[in-house]
Structure 1
Amino acid sequence: MDFLELVQKRRSIRKYKSDSVPEEKLNYVLEAARLSPSWSNRQCWNYIIVTDEALRKKIVMRRETPANVAGTTRAIEERKSRRSREWIAQAPIIIVGCADPTKSGDKEEKQYYLLDMGISMEHLILAAAEQGLGTCWIGGGFNEQIVKEALDIPKDIRVVALTPLGYPDEATEPKSRKTLEEITSRDRWE
């Protein structure tokens, strides 16, 4: 499979089989992440592989809503949000992408640790697709403090993204994409 075929094959998977992921496939996707480029080759990332079911469930939940506001719109939204994230914990693995902002650049108001993690995580996700594994980039919708507490992540380290990892238990259709003409221009903004 060539590179564009791989990119076209990759999908955001939200339903996973319970089958475990062989260690050699896990190491393959982590190696792809490790080899990604970074600002001044500082390699600010660290990945936590979460296989424990109780921990997987914990890190995708937000704090419980206080009982005295149980009927409020906020409480209702929290319950919906909790339910909508439960699928993440069904995968046999959740990979937590962390970064140390002090080990990356902060230049011209750009926080390069976010870019570094984005590149590294995308390498991981594409390698997973190549191995027949499903992922789904989760860049928000989780409570960073809960994740840090559950996984003993130091205060100065940022949790940038999560991805479930496992064998897909669903067939997904390709999403529509804009044409090249819609997203490119020559010599100036059009």
Structure 2
Amino acid sequence: MEVTEAIQKRRSIRKYQNRKVDNDRLDRVLEAARLAPSAKNLQEWRFVVVRDEGRRKRLAEAAKGQTFVGDAPVVIAACATVTDYVMTCGQLTYPIDLAIAVEHMVLQAAEEGLGTCWIGAFYEEEVKKVLNIPPQVRVVALLPLGYPDESPASRPRKEMDEIVAFESWK
């Protein structure tokens, strides 16, 4: 699959088949995150892979009761270990760097025939308790991963001229 095709086919999946994700596919998804760029090459990430059903169900509860999170055969918690580095532009690096790494996983998952759904609606402290994450580490996203059991239609996108300006804002 070409990158463009993965981008076009990717959907937020909220219904998963009751089917395990094999280690080779999971390894390729995680490798995509490992290869992601980061500011100053900090690679300030750590990914907690959760396959245990009981722990996945507890993560679903921490994700505001979104049961599909626990129904996925794998949930990946994307965490930041360095949270105080600020780029010259004034932005913290960790949310940006983790977003890049998670999106690399999302696109690789599409290549592997797997579905994902980026989860930002969760109670971080509850997730930390479930996964024994230290207080200084930030949980940036949860990523359920599995074989889709649905095929959602694409959502409307703005036209290019609504989101792009050349040379100046206008």
- Structure 1: gaps spanning 5 or more residues: 64-80
Of residues 92, 104, 110, the one that matches 1:123 is: 104
1:60/1:143 contact within 8 Å kept: no
- CA change 1:93–1:62 in 2 (3 A) is closer
Q: Cα deviation per residue 1:137-183 (whole Å; 9 max; x = unaligned)?
A: 012x2111111111111110000000100000011111111121111
1:61/1:143 contact within 8 Å kept: no
Matched residue, 2:122? 142
Q: Which runs of 4+ in 1 moved over 2 A?
A: none
CA distance in 1, matches of 2:151, 2:52: 26
Matched residue, 2:133? 153
Q: Cα deviation per residue 1:107-128 (whole Å; 9 max; x = unaligned)?
A: 3431110000000000000000
1:34/1:120 contact within 8 Å kept: yes
- Structure 2: gaps spanning 5 or more residues: none
2:60/2:68 contact within 8 Å kept: no
Matched, 1:97 2:65: no
Matched residue, 2:156? 176
- How high is the TM-score relative to the length of structure 1? 0.85
CA distance in 2, matches of 1:164, 1:2: 23
Matched residue, 1:74? none
The RMSD of aligned alpha carbons is 1.5
Matched residue, 2:51? 51
* Greater radius of gyration (CA): 1
CA distance in 1, matches of 2:68, 2:60: 9
Q: Determine which structure has the larger helix proportion and give its number.
A: 1
Matched residue, 2:94? 113
- Of stretches 157-166 and 2-11 in structure 1, the one that deviates more from structure 2 is 2-11
2:149 alignment partner AA = D
CA distance in 1, matches of 2:97, 2:38: 5
Shift of 1:60: 2.4
CA distance in 2, matches of 1:100, 1:113: 8
Matched residue, 2:167? 187
2:8 alignment partner AA = Q
Taking every aligned residue pair, what percent have the same amino acid on both sides?
46
CA distance in 2, matches of 1:28, 1:62: 27
1:97/1:121 contact within 8 Å kept: yes
CA distance in 2, matches of 1:19, 1:60: 18
Aligned residues: 169
Matched residue, 2:60? 60
